Copies of this chain bind each other. A is one copy, B any other.
Amino acid sequence: MNSLTLEVFLEERKAQIETKLPEYVTTLNAPSILKEAMLYSLQAGGKRLRPMLLFATVEGFGGNYQHSLPVASAIEMIHTYSLIHDDLPAMDNDDFRRGKLTNHKVFGDATAILAGDALLTYAFEVIVKMDEAMIDPHQKLRLVAELTRASGPEGMVGGQVADMEGENKSLSLSQLEFIHHHKTGDLLSFSIIAGAIIAKASNNDVDNLRSFAKHLGLAFQIKDDILDIEGSQDTLGKPVGSDITNEKSTYPKLLGLDGAKKKLDDHISKAKEYLYNVNMDHEKLEMLADYIMNRDR
């Protein structure tokens, strides 16, 4: 797959998930203002990287990615809820995200909290109500078990708490990795593991994909840190240099810019080693790994 076909892959699949997501919310029997608040943030765009990783995994095992749209939607609901809560005045107090006002700036803090709660809860409902012609009960239960672990106290929420505790402190590399492994890595990993569960991959393949995903997640975060130094504000859609201003612990701060780039390369290489051990067509996941390393936003 060359860069043109990667572009087509990303655009086509992004259009699909962005068509599917609002359908789940508009059909809810719930107060309109709640549905508006849920939709506002679900439709705020972004790369939809997590669904892309899910689709690439499903397709790598020869599956039809459209059957995994409910799981992709659930992942985006959980990712979106985490952004809404992170942006709150009590947390990061951000007024803008991706150039749009944050949820609480439009709907108020109370509705934003509840819209996040609703998206989190509904994500699990979407999975358990999937068509049993496409997925059996054991697969559903594995998906919910993996997703709760990835997004709950031992996963994303735990990482967010550790991140808050680490603010204005000098962190070691292992502390920094703990934070990113859980705060962003676990949900990225889930996206890949979910694809393997849907495709009924062997335990050995799941293990290798889990290691692939772990390195990919750290690579993703290192690239984010590098872009905060070398990126363009116009392309990123957010100010650069904010990590330095906020005295945040980052990979470039701990390892130097060159050291961070070396670390990024290492994680991508290790990720690919694990990927090559998996009995699947690796092409799309490999391209996504390169995309994560080389992206400019």
> Which of the residues B85, B108, B122, B162 comes within 8 Å of A113, measured between beta carbons?
B85
| A152 nearest in chain B by CB position | B121
Interchain CA distance A137-B129 in the complex, whole Å: 13
Check A110–B125 contact: CB distance below 8 A. Answer: no
Question: With an 8 A cutoff between CB atoms, is A99 at the interface?
Answer: no
Question: With an 8 A cutoff between CB atoms, is A33 at the interface?
Answer: yes
With A145-B128, A157-B34 as given contacts, are A91 and B118 in contact (CB-CB < 8 Å)?
Answer: no
Question: With an 8 A cutoff between CB atoms, is A149 at the interface?
Answer: yes
Question: With an 8 A cutoff between CB atoms, is A31 at the interface?
Answer: yes
Question: With an 8 A cutoff between CB atoms, is A54 at the interface?
Answer: no
A133: min CB distance to chain B, Å: 15
**A148 cross-chain contacts in B, Cβ below 8 A:** 121-122, 124-125, 128
Among A33, A111, A154: residue with most chain B CB under 10 A: A154
**A129 cross-chain contacts in B, Cβ below 8 A:** 145
Check A85–B117 contact: CB distance below 8 A. Answer: yes
Check A141–B113 contact: CB distance below 8 A. Answer: no
Question: With an 8 A cutoff between CB atoms, is A1 at the interface?
Answer: no
| A38 nearest in chain B by CB position | B153
Binary B-proximity of A101-125 (CB < 8 A = 1, otherwise 0): 0000000111101101110111011
A1-59 CB contacts (< 8 Å) to partner B: 28-31, 33-35, 38
11 A-B pairs in the complex with CB atoms less than 8 angstroms apart:
A28-B153, A29-B158, A30-B158, A34-B153, A85-B117, A90-B109, A90-B113, A91-B110, A91-B113, A124-B124, A125-B149
Given A118-B157, A137-B141, 17 new contacts (CB under 8 A):
A29-B154, A30-B157, A30-B158, A34-B157, A34-B161, A89-B90, A90-B90, A114-B157, A117-B120, A118-B158, A120-B121, A124-B124, A125-B145, A128-B141, A128-B144, A137-B138, A141-B141
